[in-house]
Each structure stands twice: as C-alpha cells, then as structure tokens.
Amino acid sequence: MLLDRIDGWNEVEHVALDRHQGEDRLLILDNLVLHRAADAALLVRDRLVGLIPVSSSGSSISLNRSEKLFADLLYESPDTGTIVVFEIKRARATARETVTELLAYEQEVRNHLPFAARTDICFVVVSTDYSPLLDHSLVSLIAWHGLKVLCLHVDETQRITARLPSAWSSLGQDLIPSQHIDTTSLTFTPHDFSNPVQIGVLLNSALDMIAREADRSGITGFGFVFEDVRFMYENLRPCGLIVARVNPAGFLSEAKVEHYLDGGERSPLHRRIAEHGRTGSWRPASPELDSATRFLSRYGTVEWCSSGTWQEKRLDVRHRTPDVSMDHYARPVVFNTWGLIGDYTRELLICPDRMATAAKEFGDQVVETRNPEFGFKVVDTIAPDAKVPAYGAQWFTRLGFRLARLWTYVTAYQLNKDFLTRDRLRSLLAWARADLCVPLTELGIATSLADVREPPPAIITGAAGDGRPLEDPDTIGLLVRWVIDHLIGDRSNRHGVVFEAAFHTGQAFDEGIFGIELGIDLEDIVARAVTNVYTLLDLAIAQAPRRNGAYPALTAHFAASFGLDCTSDTTPTELAALIWKIPIETLFDEYVRAVPAALDIAFPALHFGAGHAPPTLPSGAVAVLRRRILEHRAAGRDPGIYFDPGGGYGIDMLDEHAKTMFRRPADDEVVVRDRYTTRGEVHRLTTWTRLTDHDTNQSGQQ
C-alpha cells in the first residue's frame, strides 16, 4: 500500500499540531504558510484509503470528447466523495507544467461535480526534484488558493518522503503593524429617518455582505457597527459603520526586514513595495464594499471616506484631541472579522487551551464571534496600537493612564444624572474597557509569574442592561494600590512611581473630560503632572550614563521625539537644561509614549519570572521553529529563539555578541535568549530535545 511506503509523516503531523498549540497572541504569516501546507498534506493522506482506480495516463478525463486531458492517475472514493489526482514529475524540465495541469484537472473534475468543495478534490504531486518554480507554485495553490495537495519526494534509492513545500521568504513578522491597517467610514443618509432600528438592521446586513465579499477576495480586515450616542441631539444618524483593511505593503518596511532580508533590496519589486510601505502610497481598492454600497443605496445615499489608520484611532494620544476620537460618540454593537484575522478568530474559539489564555476575562461564557468586546480584544492583541516593552515604564504608564480613564468615567456616571451626559459616558466606557483588555491580560500573566501571595482585586467589567457600568471605582483604586504594593513592591521604586503618577494625573492628559464635566477644575492635577514629567525625564538623564549604551540612545531619542539639539556629546547637565525648552503641550502629548520610553532606555523592564524555567515548548512548536531556524541558517543568517517575560516565544536574529559566543551551532542545536533565570537576560546553547525536556544543565553565558 502506498501509505505504508511514505516516510516523513511525523514532522508533518507536528507542524499541523502547532496550529492548535500555538500562542493565542500571534498571527504569524511565517508559520501560517507551513500550517496550511501540513493541513493539506494530512487531509489528502486521510483520503488515500479505499481508493478505486478510474483512469491512467492513457485515457482522457475530459467530459468533452474534443478535448484531451490526461492525468497520470485518477482515483475515486465514493465513501468520502473524493476525487484524487496523481501528477508524477520525472524530470525537472516538466516541473513548470505542474500548476497548469493541476488547475486544468481541477476544472475538469468540477465539470463532472459542479458543486464540489475544495476538500472533495485532492492532488498528489510526486517528483524527484522540487525546483524554486515548482515550490512557489505549490505554496501558492495550497496557502492562498485552498487546493489540497500532498507533495511526495522520491530520492535516488526510491525512498518516498512527505514534503512540505518551502517558498515563503520569512519576514520575521509577529504582529500586524496597526499603522498599516487603513480604515474607511460610512456616511449613510437614509431616505426615511423614522425607524432607527431599521437603519441599524441595514448596517448590520451591510457588514455581513462586506465580510462575505472580503473573504471571497482574500482581503484581511475587520469592521464594526456602532450606535451613535449623539442621535437626536447632535446627529440625525442613529448608527454608523467603520471598516478596516490590512494594507499588504506595510510588511516589507515594518516587519523586521532589516534583519531577515539583510537590509538590502533584493529585487525591483522589493524596492518598489518597500518604498510604498515607507511612504504610505500603496492604496488598495476596496471591492469588498461594492455589494454593501449597492444594497444600502436602495434605502439612502452612501458615502465612504478614508478615516486614517487603526493606530491613529487606538493610540492613547487620541485623548488629546477628543473632537476626532470615536470614543465620544461611537459605542460598538456588532463586530466582524474576515480574511486571515477572521480565520484566526474562529480558530481561537475552537482551541480550548488557547481560548483560556486569550479570553480569560470572558470566563465560562459562550463567546459569540460578533461580540465587540471579544473582537477588539483579538485585534488589539495581534495588531496593538504600539509595541511596548513588557512591564517597562511605557507599559506601566499605559496601564495607569487607562485605569484612570475607566475610574473617571465610572465615577462620572455615578455622580451625573443627566441623560445626555450618561449617553456620552456609555460610549467612553465602551472604549475604556476595550483599551484595558490586553493590559489586564498581561497583568494577569505578570501576577502568575511573580508568585504574589495576595491575589489582585477582581474588576468586573461591562454594562448592565440599562447601560449602568458594572465597575466599582473603589475596586479600581484597590487594584492600583495592589500593583504598587504587591506586584511591583520592592522590585523597583521607579516603576511604582511611574505607574502611580500615570493613574493620579491621568485626567490632565484627557481633553475629552471637559465634554462631560464642563466646570471641572484640573489646576492641581495639571501642576502635579508637569512636575512628574520633568522629574521622570531628569531621572532618565541621571541613570542613562550608568547603563551600557543607554546615554547615546537617550540623546537620540530626545532629538527624534522632542526636536532637541543634542547628541551623545551633550553632557547630562546640558541635556537636563534642554528639556525645560520642551513645550508643556508637547510633553503632555508624549506622556504615554516618548516620556516613559526615555525611562525604558535608562532602566531595564521588570522581570517577574526570575528564577523560573522557560515554558515548555509543545512538540508542534519545536517542529516549526526547527524548520524555520534551519531555513534561516541556509540563507546565511544567524537566528535564535527568544522567550519573553510573558511566556511568549519566537525567532529573532542574534546580535553580534551572541554570534561571537556561539559560532556555527549544529543542526540539532539552537541558541536561546531568555529572561527566566536570576541572572537576567541570558543566552544559552541547547538542543531541540533538551529545549522540550527542560534540561537546565546546559551551557549558557550572560
């Protein structure tokens, strides 16, 4: 039997297993292509049982007698409703014909079985040689066009091995850059304003149409319908719709290309696409909107307009300009995803272990895929507004500021009985909760790593049926105190100061607060915030010279972020004087970005996992990582594996110091960078077997 003669299934199975074992927070294209190839191979394998021969190369399979299509071998399986076509390549010169033949055979099978699914037609390609052209063709058919293909390699000894085609150039992408997610907003003016509920139903249906058309077109993105809380007061439209699309030109310039493609431009196409990504000049058409536009045009006038990037809508600095922020009028009610984000969302729901990590805050609820809270959590996880160092000054500033916003809005809702103000607060609260989803999950990870004896106060988030917030301001305050006293504790007084300052002065950086409390007096808070900003910058200037390489990085940061005329030759005293020239408004605009980023340059982030062993790597992860590491080495690069403080892992390129320590690891060896020992960040050389078994008695250097 053919299956008994095929080797290599173990690696294919482990690669496929990684799709279900993989981290909840990552949608990695480098892995996704491998997963799809492995899934297709296993599906075809399972259909190679009980096959009945139909034809060989001597018989045409065409329904039309005037056409001649000769498949090498064709089998059927009535019990599974499957047609299996074998294509045998005996010479490298015939490889270029393979894709043409497979597509022709697929079309002819569909002539016989018009409504056949992609899984009903399987292909087996057998070849002694897989050229780049053949590999690229097969990866395209499998990963992007959904064909189910099993690749078999036959060597000179007639040994047959299952093979995963490898034509994907690794970009090192681990997150979707939110600055390369373009948004489009709908302005829908109905012919009849008398039925607000009907308008909401129309937009809901339009969102479904957009999702369907986007999936058919291979577009990756998401969208949501929102209730406009200004309805009947400032706006005649009861609801709106925003659609977001991942711009594919952003990855070459943003996804670590300088390490993965050696910083060089590889081809004219690379040069053009990288330039478009840097300048934002790549503007894809939006065919996914056409059907929804035709549908809505029956009921009103439709106008779509570009509304900036997703990053612009999610950065904390948006609260400095509330007039353009969605927070003040748009309360999301329905969410939808499509393309790779849609696949990721649905796969998350069917993997219990990953779901337990990704959506712990939803408890035992049955999560609906169109739930806005769940949708924003997924998007903010894989496409964060900014990638900040875990548990550094930026991270604690962001957490403190966002908790301050939630506390402010909940308190204002309790104190203010005005119906219009409460409507505005419902929208503000919805976005404040969305902003905290990912940070609170990361806080939970830090808590588990730190082995804190006293558990944190549990914050119940959400709204009651009447719109009343379920959060308790006192509990939020207790959580802030718990973070300072128990989580940070005596690990770092500086990080405690940063976090506490962000929480207690957060109102000073939220201009939108005047929209709900016109007469609020923030003079004392603003004065405290000014003092805090200068104190933190002075602290960074004083500490940076004591940390290797930090002072030049700090002066470069001040020059880039604040426009200061400083270099590494500027003395700390001179630099301290220069910061007083920065306008207060600029410092406030950068309070949650450039200001704490200066501290992250001067001080290391907190490592809550000190003394812990790295997390166990699942077998699927080892199979994928090993394959990718060997591919990078074959391309002349020096890859390693990292473990981050939150338990995540992935591939990055070794710095010069690490390359000097570990020269030319063997195929069964890998360099690991982790932060789970008492010595801080450590590089160590280990084997793939030990990496899985957690043998800690390995060679390592700090």
pLDDT in tens, 4-30: 899 999 999 998 888 776 555 567 788
Average pLDDT (643-672) is: 82
Q: How far apart are CA 321 and CA 348, in angstroms?
A: 35
Q: Tell me which range, 75-84, 130-139, 354-363, 652-661, is most confidently predicted by mean pLDDT.
A: 75-84
Q: What is the pLDDT of residue 612?
A: 56
Q: How far apart are CA 152 and CA 92, in angstroms?
A: 15
Q: How far apart are CA 687 and CA 398, in angstroms?
A: 38
pLDDT surpassing 80 at residue 94 = no
Q: What is the pLDDT of residue 359?
A: 66
pLDDT surpassing 70 at residue 481 = yes
> Do residues 368 and 374 lie in contact, with contact meaning Cβ atoms separated by under 8 Å?
yes
What is the band of 656 on the pLDDT scale with cuts at 50, 70, 90? confident
Average pLDDT (367-394) is: 87
Average pLDDT (633-646) is: 81
Q: Tell me which range, 25-39, 305-319, 626-640, is most confidently predicted by mean pLDDT.
A: 305-319
Q: What is the pLDDT of residue 697?
A: 40
pLDDT surpassing 50 at residue 698 = no
**pLDDT above 70 coverage of the chain, percent:** 90
Mean pLDDT of the chain: 87
> Do residues 237 and 228 lie in contact, with contact meaning Cβ atoms separated by under 8 Å?
yes
Q: Which of 311-315, 520-524, 569-573, 664-668 has the lowest mean pLDDT?
A: 520-524
Q: What is the pLDDT of residue 614?
A: 56
Average pLDDT (173-200) is: 90
Q: Which of 28-37, 205-214, 382-391 has the lowest mean pLDDT?
A: 382-391
Average pLDDT (675-689) is: 69
Give the torsion sign (CA, 619, 624, 627, 629).
negative
The contacts found for 442-446 with CB under 8 angstroms, 24 or more apart, are 442/390, 442/391, 442/395, 442/646, 443/399, 443/483, 443/487, 444/360, 445/646, 445/647, 446/391, 446/487, 446/606, 446/608, 446/645, 446/646
pLDDT surpassing 60 at residue 432 = yes
Q: What is the pLDDT of residue 611?
A: 52
Tokens linked to 64: 């039309």
pLDDT surpassing 50 at residue 136 = yes
pLDDT surpassing 80 at residue 610 = no
Average pLDDT (204-229) is: 96
Average pLDDT (132-149) is: 93
What is the band of 83 on the pLDDT scale with cuts at 50, 70, 90? very high
Q: Which of 81-95, 209-223, 553-567 has the lowest mean pLDDT?
A: 81-95
Q: Which of 129-143, 167-181, 315-329, 331-345 has the lowest mean pLDDT?
A: 167-181
What is the band of 696 on the pLDDT scale with cuts at 50, 70, 90? very low
pLDDT surpassing 50 at residue 554 = yes
What is the band of 645 on the pLDDT scale with cuts at 50, 70, 90? low
Q: Which is more confidently placed, 680 or 16?
A: 16
Q: Which is more confidently placed, 212 or 391?
A: 212
**pLDDT above 90 coverage of the chain, percent:** 53
What is the band of 146 on the pLDDT scale with cuts at 50, 70, 90? very high
Which uninterrupted H or E stretch holds 334? strand 330-338
Q: How far apart are CA 68 and CA 622, in angstroms?
A: 46
Q: What is the pLDDT of residue 410?
A: 95
The contacts found for 86-93 with CB under 8 angstroms, 24 or more apart, are 86/123, 86/124, 86/126, 87/123, 87/124, 87/125, 87/126, 88/126, 88/127, 89/125, 89/126, 89/127, 89/128, 89/129, 89/134, 90/128, 92/129, 92/131
Tokens linked to 249: 């030109």
pLDDT surpassing 70 at residue 700 = no
Q: What is the pLDDT of residue 26?
A: 60
Q: What is the pLDDT of residue 538?
A: 95
Q: If phi over 0 gives left and psi between -120 and 50 gives alpha, with beta otherwise, what is residue 492?
A: beta
Q: Which of 125-129, 629-633, 695-699 has the lowest mean pLDDT?
A: 695-699
Average pLDDT (525-545) is: 93
Q: Can you give the pTM of this predicted structure?
A: 0.87
Average pLDDT (44-67) is: 91
pLDDT surpassing 70 at residue 142 = yes
Q: What is the pLDDT of residue 658?
A: 81
pLDDT surpassing 70 at residue 701 = no
